[in-house]
Amino acid sequence: MFRQKSRLFVILFLFASFIFPLSVSAARVSYPEVVSLPDGFRPEGIAVGKGHTFYTGSLGNGAIYRGDLRTGEGEVIFDGQAGRMAVGMSFDERSGYLFVAGGLTGQTFVFDGETGDEVAAYTLSSPGASFINDVIVTRQAAYFTNSFEKVFYRVPLGPAGELPDDPEEIQSIPLGENFVQVPGAFVFNSNGIEASEDGDMLVIVNTARGELYRVNPLYGHADLIDLGGMSVSNGDGLLFRGSDLYVVRNQLNQIDVIELDPEWTSGEIVDSLTNSNLRVPTTAAAFGNALYLVNARFDVTPTPDTEYEAVRLSLKH
C-alpha cells in the first residue's frame, strides 16, 4: 500500500511539475501598453479580429493595417488609394470580413481580414456632401452613421455574414425627429454607433451636442438618453462591454463609462478613464481585460513623420 501511495505521489508530482511552469509562463505573457503604427498613417478606427489580431485604417488614403496586440508587430494589408478614407470599422467573426466607413467618399468598403483583399464597395451617399463615420456589425446587418446628414444606413447580412447580392437592398433610414441635427457645413453630428447584443436597438452619439440617442435599427425612431444633465461632448467611438457603454471623448483624452438602464432610456456616468499615452483617441476595441484605442492626434498637423500608436488601457473589472 505504501509503495502504491508513493508511486501515485511521484506521478502527481511529475504531472504538477509539467503543468505548473506552463501556467506560470502563460501568466507572464504581457501585452505592450503602446503599439506603434506606421509613421504618417493617420489612424481613426480600430477593430479586434480573430485571436489577438487588430485592424486600423488610414484617413489619408484608406490603407488598412493589421497588427498583433501581443507582439506589437504588424503590416499594411491594403495599400490604399488616392481619394480614399478609412474611418470607423467593425469586424464580423462569421465571415472574417472587415467593414470600413469611407468618410467623405460616401462609401463603405469591405475587406477580407485574412488577405486584405477588397471584397465589396457600396455607395451610401454623395461624395463630399456626406461623411460616413462609423459602423457596427450585428447578426442582421451592418449599420453606418453619416455625420453630415440626419440618416443612417443598413446593409443587410445573411446568417453567415453573407453580403447582399443587390446594392438596392441597402437602406438609407432617416433619423427620427427627436434626433437634433446641428446645422452647418462640416458639423459632426452622428458619429459613433453601437448595438444591443441581439441587434434590436442601436445607440448613436451626437458629437456636436454631446448627446446619446437610442435608435430603432429598422425605422430610425430616435430617443434622447437622459444622462441627468451630463454631457458627452467630443463623443466619438462607442463600445459596449457587458452592460457598460464606453464613450471615447477624443479631444479630452478621456473615456466615460456609462451605466444604462435596461431600456436605454437613461444612464449615469459612473467612471472616467484616461492614460498619459492618449493623444486624441477616436475609437476603442476590447480585448481581454483591456481597451485598445488609436491616437488620431487631431491636435497636430499630420506629416509623413508624425508618430501614431494604439494604446492599451487596463480595466478594473
Copy the grid coordinates of residue 82: 488616392
Over residues 142-191, the pLDDT tens digits come to 999 999 999 999 999 999 999 999 999 999 999 999 999 999 989 999 99
Cβ density class 44-79: b for 16+ within 10 Å, e for less:
bbbbbbeeebbbbbbbbbbbbbbbbbeeeebebbbe
Cα–Cα nearest to 110, from 126, 125, 91: 91
> Where does residue 189 fall: left (phi above 0), alpha (psi -120 to 50 degrees), or beta otherwise?
alpha
Over residues 266-277, the pLDDT tens digits come to 999 999 999 999
Copy the grid coordinates of residue 225: 438618453
Name the strand (E) or helix (H) holding 151.
Answer: strand 151-156
- Positive/negative CA dihedral, 154, 155, 160, 166: positive
User: CB-based burial of residue 307 (10 Å sphere; 0-12 exposed, 13-18 middle, 19+ buried)?
Assistant: middle
**Apex 212 CA angle, 262 and 268, nearest 5:** 55
Copy the grid coordinates of residue 20: 505548473
The answer to whether 221 touches 213, Cβ cutoff 8 Å, is no
Mean pLDDT of all residues belonging to the chain: 92
What's the confidence (pLDDT) of residue 64?
A: 98
Copy the grid coordinates of residue 176: 427620427
pTM: 0.90
Over residues 279-310, the pLDDT tens digits come to 999 999 999 999 999 999 999 999 999 999 99
Count Cβ atoms below 10 Å from residue 168 Cβ, excluding itself. 7
What's the confidence (pLDDT) of residue 242?
A: 86
Mean pLDDT by 10 residues, the chain (317 residues): 43 42 47 97 98 97 98 97 97 98 98 97 94 98 98 98 95 97 95 97 98 98 97 98 95 98 96 97 96 98 98 86
What's the confidence (pLDDT) of residue 30?
A: 86
* Distance separating alpha carbons of residues 29 and 31, to the nearest angstrom: 7
What is the maximum span of the chain, computed from C-alpha positions, in angstroms? Answer: 88
What's the confidence (pLDDT) of residue 18?
A: 43
Please enumerate in sequence order all residues whose Cβ is within 8 A of that of 61, keeping only pairs 6 or more positions apart, or say none: 79, 80, 81, 82, 83, 84, 85
The answer to whether 290 touches 313, Cβ cutoff 8 Å, is yes
What's the confidence (pLDDT) of residue 50?
A: 96
The answer to whether 299 touches 306, Cβ cutoff 8 Å, is no
User: CB-based burial of residue 16 (10 Å sphere; 0-12 exposed, 13-18 middle, 19+ buried)?
Assistant: exposed
- HEC secondary structure over 157-212: CCCCCCCCCCHHHCEEEECCCCCCCCCCCCCCCEEEEEECCCCCCEEEEECCCCEE
What's the confidence (pLDDT) of residue 12?
A: 41
